Structure formats: C-alpha cells, structure tokens
Structure 1
C-alpha cells in the first residue's frame, strides 16, 4: 500500500512539473517546468554564495576592527561641567546620551578638552570611558565581535532575499510570457474547432 501511495505521489509530481506523457500537457507547460527546475537549481546554488558573502563580510569586519583597535586608544574623560538634563525635549528618565564637555589625557601627557557623550544630567566630575584616535580626538569604539557577526548575518540575509526577489521576478516574467503564448494557442485552436463544432451541433438539431 505504501508503495502504491508513493507511486501515486510521484505521478502527481510528474504531472505538475510536466515530465509525464500526459497529452494534455502542452509545450508551454513543459517549458514552464524546465524554468521552475532551473530556478530551483539556481536557488540551491546561491546557498553557498550567501555563505561566502557572509564569510567575506565577517573577514572584512575582523580586519576593520583590528585596524580600529590598532589606531585608537581607550582612555577616561572627566566631565568639567554637568551634562544637560534633557536632549531635544526627551524625557530625562530615558537616560539618553547627550553631548557634554569633558577633558582627558593624551598618551604624551597633554590635556585635551572637548565634547564627549554622557548620560543625561550626569554631574561634573563623572568619569566616562572613551576612545580617541591618533590625533587625540574622540572616536567610536572599535567594532565588537557581536557587531561583526550581526553584519555577516545581515550580508547572508540580504543575499538570500535579493536572490529570492530576483528569482520570483524572473518566474513571474516567464509565466506571463507563457500565459500569453497559451492564450494565443487556445484562440487559434478554438478558431479551428468552433466552426466544426457548430456545424455538428446544427446537423444534430441541437439548438
């Protein structure tokens, strides 16, 4: 029984993809089946491509993080005056970061005063961990491992999404062209069959 059910499912699949000997399966149906098979193969082939894109993005992120770590120095800034109590009308309870004036020491021992990101309402004298570049100006922290992994994951997702969109668009275009060909073929066949069918109905006395 299981063998019969398997054969039945196989026959249904063959009928749907147009590879059986069904006379109702036209040339356009077989072309569509071939196109679907090709698109499936392309989609499967894009899996390692998406993985390669993610790996390349990850490697690029690692190199960027290494460069940032080599050219930036962690230090501590001290606020010289209280940070603003609100940022653009935002609720102070949200503890958003606001620009504040602070000072920090450079590797050569010199003092630098500038703008740093501090918590809303932070009092003067608050110590804030910052990163500075070779010129001594504040700079973003080097990319973390989590950020690198997130970028690599986004690269994989974007590649897969772009592939699916392009394949779906290609299938829709091919399906539209094949449907037009089907309709034209049906019109030609009906133009050939209709006169004979009408004459037969008249000969049989069918109204």
Structure 2
C-alpha cells in the first residue's frame, strides 16, 4: 500500500523521496562532502591510534635510554643565585640560576644550573648529566612517554580534520555562491516571463 503523504491524497511511490526536484547538483555535492568528512573522521581514528602508539613506543625507548645513560652528580655553586626572567606566551616567569662546577672523571665541568631562590655560593646541588658528563634534564619517565603518544595521536587526528574541514568550508562557500547566482538567474528569468503576459 502506498501512503498518502501529500495534500489531496496523491500516492507517493516508495523511493520517490530520493530524488527531490528542488535539490540541485550543488546540494548533492555538499551532501556528499558532508558524508565524506564524517567518514574521514571515523576512518582517521585507527590511523591516529597507530601514530600515537608508534610515538609512545619510540618515546619509551628514548626514556629507557636516558634512564640507563643519565645519572646524578653533585655540583657546587660558585656564586649566589640570580633571578632570570623567561618570557612565555602566557606570562613571564622567573627562575633562579647560579654558576656551578662538578667533577666528571678527571675533568671539571661548569655550567649555570637551576637553583632555589637565594641560594648562596658553595651550595651543593644534585644535577643530571648525560653519558659525557654534560648538564642535561631529568630522564623522561614511562608515563611521560605514554602522554606524548596520546598527544601525537590527537594531534594527527586534529590536523587532518582541520584540513578536511577547511576544504569543506571553502567548497561550501563556493557552492553557496553558485547557488545564489543560479537563484538570481532563475528569478530574473521568471520575472521576465511574467512581464511578457
């Protein structure tokens, strides 16, 4: 049985709604692009997970390497600490540093190290050095490696989707311009036809 879905009880054949006479080619293109963006968003999830897993694995290897190579030594400050202002995008922040020296084998190394405010000269501080005895940062932890993987996966998905959405919005703006121009042409043609009668 066909359902009477229009005024006047005219029968509507099954599947006839698939071809809307008011839907133009630009409308169909926009619908296809919308579907493509949605499909891409879901299709990018496995790729983002893969990228995050690869990044986490590489960072975990780096963390293990740093943990095995880096070690702590005792450094002695050579002067009182001084404040240094470091600019950032959020707000300027201050840290205190002091020149210090430490022994590595039969050599003496020197560098500015981060210390607490008002640290006097002659204070002993524990610092991290690499395999050659040079000043470095604390080794990366396993949890930090996993966080880096999560960030990499999210960043991959976000960048691809931003590019896709930018292309979609540019294309839709072009389609809207074409639709407006077509409506103007149709309206002028209609007005011209009515004035002739």
Q: TM-score range by the shorter chain?
A: 0.7 to 0.9
After superposition, the C-alpha distances for 1:20-59 in whole angstroms (9 at most, x for unaligned) are 4432222221221111101110111111222222112211
Which residue of 149, 167, 178 corresponds with 1:170? 167
TM-score after normalising by structure 2:
0.73
1:103 is aligned to 102
Q: Which runs of 5+ in 1 are unaligned?
A: 1-18, 89-93, 201-207
1:14 is aligned to none
Q: How many residues align?
A: 174
TM-score after normalising by structure 1:
0.70
Q: What is the rounded CA distance, in whole Å, between the counterparts of 2:21 and 2:188 in structure 1?
A: 20
Write out aligned runs for 1:51-130 (5 A).
Answer: 51-79=49-77, 81-87=78-84, 96-104=95-103, 106=104, 108=105, 110=106, 112-115=108-111, 116-130=113-127
1:25 is aligned to 23
| Secondary structure of the structure 2 residue equivalent to 1:175 | helix
Q: Which runs of 5+ in 2 are unaligned?
A: 1-16, 86-92
| Secondary structure of the structure 1 residue equivalent to 2:84 | coil
Q: What is the rounded CA distance, in whole Å, between the counterparts of 2:29 and 2:132 in structure 1?
A: 65
Shift in alpha-carbon separation, 1:36–1:95, aligned structure 2, 3 A: closer
Structure whose residues are more often helix by fraction? 1
| Secondary structure of the structure 1 residue equivalent to 2:164 | helix
Runs of 4+ off more than 4 Å: none
2:132 is aligned to 135
CA-atom RMSD in angstroms: 2.7
Shift in alpha-carbon separation, 1:76–1:52, aligned structure 2, 3 A: same
